[in-house]
Amino acid sequence: MSQSRQPGAWDGAFYRVRTEHFDAAFVPSAGEDLEAVNNVDVFVDLPDGSRWSATIITLAQVGLVMERWAASGEALGGRYFWVSDGLIVRDAGISNMTQVLVGLVENEEFGEVLQRLDG
């Protein structure tokens, strides 16, 4: 897998990361440590002009959400977790999530995992 850790930059509410494969706009919470992000929406623009989205969440965060739902009664008492454009990753942080996205492009799995926003 090629190097994907690229310095990003804030652009309003978005933290933008550019790689040789795509431009990604992550939407972390204000003040959140970018290398501790464990649940974030991302919008990805590919060089072919297509636009994609995903909600990226760590496996650990899924577990915490399900435990919370078990107590609150949501999602059949925390018995399931579902999100339409969800991508579960092992490690937290924007740089780790970017590495996963790069890997999906390089392995030609990107279109199977993320949700296309245009046509």
Count how many domains the chain has: 1
Residue 62 within any structural domain of the chain = no
Residue 49 within any structural domain of the chain = yes
CA 57 to chain centre: 6
pLDDT of residue 1: 44
Tell me the backbone φ, ψ of residue 66, rounded to 5 degrees: -65, -35
Residue 99 within any structural domain of the chain = yes
Condensed to tens digits (0 to 9), the pLDDT of residues 94-119 reads: 999 999 999 999 999 999 999 999 86
Question: Distance between CA 64 and CA 43 in Å, rounded?
Answer: 25
For the chain, what percent of residues have pLDDT higher than 70? 94
Condensed to tens digits (0 to 9), the pLDDT of residues 51-81 reads: 999 999 999 999 999 999 999 999 999 999 9
Residue 46 within any structural domain of the chain = yes
pLDDT of residue 119: 65
Range of the domain at 90: 9-57+85-116
Helix (H, G, I), strand (E, B) or coil at 67: helix
Residue 24 within any structural domain of the chain = yes
pLDDT of residue 84: 87
Residue 14 within any structural domain of the chain = yes
Helix (H, G, I), strand (E, B) or coil at 25: strand
Contacts of 68 (CB under 8 A, 6+ apart): 74, 78
Residue 4 within any structural domain of the chain = no
